[in-house]
Structure 1
Amino acid sequence: MPDEELTVDQLAARVGMTVRNVRAYAGRGLIPPPRLVGRTGYYGHDHVARLTLVRELLDKGYTLAAVERMLGELPDGALALGVFETLVNPWTPSEPEELDELQLSERAGVPHDPAVIARLVELGIAERLDDGRLRIANTDLLRTGLDVIRLGVPLDAIFEMLPKLFAQADAVAKIYVELFRSTVWRDFTNAGMPPEGWPEIQRTLEGIIPLAGQALVAAFRDSMAREIEVAAYEELGLDPKTLPSTG
């Protein structure tokens, strides 16, 4: 509820921080002062939103100084904060998962090999935690990879393919981001970032990722069918140039 007010202890519990950290971040100006009633401070929705964003940025590896700078440059208002929250966490298709090395090996159906785990960490698919367990941020990607392994594709081939896949995904993402920046965002900034324009910016940001994914899947489906057909012709010793044109 936007009108709900919390004590500092309740605020800390709500955002998953210690009271000491909440007070420290307040002292650095990362949240506005509370509403005081006598000696008790009361915090609202904006405080929860800002501290949640602080925690998420720190979890992503930003330094406290960088978080201070970003929030300091952010335009005032809950609408701008909501847009920035969308930028930080534009799409979370699955919850992160934590498991140990043996559990991961069992799930993949392959013998435990520290070198394989090290490669997963190197590729950014897994993150090693302080207790030695592994944190998988993108469980959908892991699940897909495990399904490919079960189809009989060697791990080495998958590891060789993944950087190429990530590079192609980066290229497609840049196309859509540049589309947004050169149209909707440019018009918004040229208009002086009017307060009434923030909701539309947020709606666009929240919608562009799933729509981009749908368009990419549709285009990929056609390309994959074509490439399989070409490969089949080549493997059978036929000339791919004799394939019927799709253009």
Structure 2
Amino acid sequence: MEHKPDEELTVDQLAAKVGMTVRNVRAYAGRGLIPPPRLVGRTGYYGQDHVARLTLVRELLEKGYTLAAVERMLGELPDGALALGVFETLVNPWTPAEPEVLDERQLAERAGVPHDPAVIARLVELGIAERIDADRLRIPNPDLLRTGLEVIKLGVPLDAILEMLPRLFTQADAVAKTYVELFRSTVWRDFTKAGMPADGWPEIQRTLEGIIPLAGQALVAAFREAMAREIELVAYEELGVAPDGLPSTG
């Protein structure tokens, strides 16, 4: 039987809905991760706020956060599904592709290179792959891997790509911090100064959801301009070709 969005649930129904055991639900309740249920006699009834919080707990644990970290993060949230929606936006980044599982030889075949355990170890060290067992790998960001494989097919040596990736990650982190700090020092600061009013949470969530793709678009636009400048500079240094002598890319 399906439950209506506003229907209350028993602990067994709640556990089934969020994909947990009743034992875990009771344990998380005991740690204060969800508020107490509404009691009718000796039976507790849970609502959608409980569902939202436990779903978030499960997602955070699946992402590798410790239970202590989850307690700390949820402890800083005000009650209510609106605040949880904002927090879910924060902890579920804009990742268009689901993780992928490959064995080591499949990965080597895709790259068009011989299987090399040292290369696999380096990919794991960089976080591009996560080892599941002796042969299988989990790829958290298949888009990143796919892009790297395409660059290899263009003739760039694998070693050069692996050497470049840490710098790329550092630069991506710097850009992300710039946008997050922009949000934190403007929209979020004004919201907290106003006392985090309940009717302001939807606008906060809309801003967060909108700023991620816009940040990506701005980054691509700035990158295209920077790449054009770098190509002109290298063409002049390597070939002596003045910028106005390059073919137009417009």
Same fold (TM over 0.5): yes
Q: Which of 187, 196, 214 is the equivalent residue of 1:184?
A: 187
Number of matched pairs: 243
1:126 alignment partner in structure 2: 129
% identical equivalent positions:
88
Which runs of structure 2 are paired with 1:1-247 in the superposition (5 Å)? 2-36=5-39, 41-130=44-133, 132-238=135-241
User: Which stretch shifts more, 54-63 or 79-88?
Assistant: 54-63
Amino acid in the other structure paired with 2:169: F
Give secondary structure in 2 for the equivalent of 1:98: strand
Aligned-pair CA distance for 1:147: 0.8
2:14–2:51 contact (8 Å) kept in structure 1: yes
Q: If the length of structure 2 is used for normalisation, what is the TM-score?
A: 0.88
Whole-Å separation in 2 of the counterparts to 1:89 and 1:127: 19
Which structure 1 residue ranges, 5 or more long, are not aligned?
A: none
Cα RMSD (Å) of the superposition?
2.2
Q: If the length of structure 1 is used for normalisation, what is the TM-score?
A: 0.89
1:2–1:45 contact (8 Å) kept in structure 2: yes
Amino acid in the other structure paired with 2:85: G
User: Judging changes above 3 Å, is the alpha-carbon distance between structure 1 residues 165 and 233 closer, same or farther for their aligned structure 2 residues?
Assistant: same
Which structure 2 residue ranges, 5 or more long, are not aligned?
A: none
Whole-Å separation in 1 of the counterparts to 2:9 and 2:241: 72
User: Judging changes above 3 Å, is the alpha-carbon distance between structure 1 residues 112 and 12 closer, same or farther for their aligned structure 2 residues?
Assistant: farther
2:124–2:131 contact (8 Å) kept in structure 1: yes
Whole-Å separation in 2 of the counterparts to 1:154 and 1:40: 65
2:235–2:242 contact (8 Å) kept in structure 1: no
Provide Cα deviations, 1:145-188, integer angstroms capped at 9, x if missing partner: 11111111111000111111111111111111111111101111
Amino acid in the other structure paired with 1:104: L
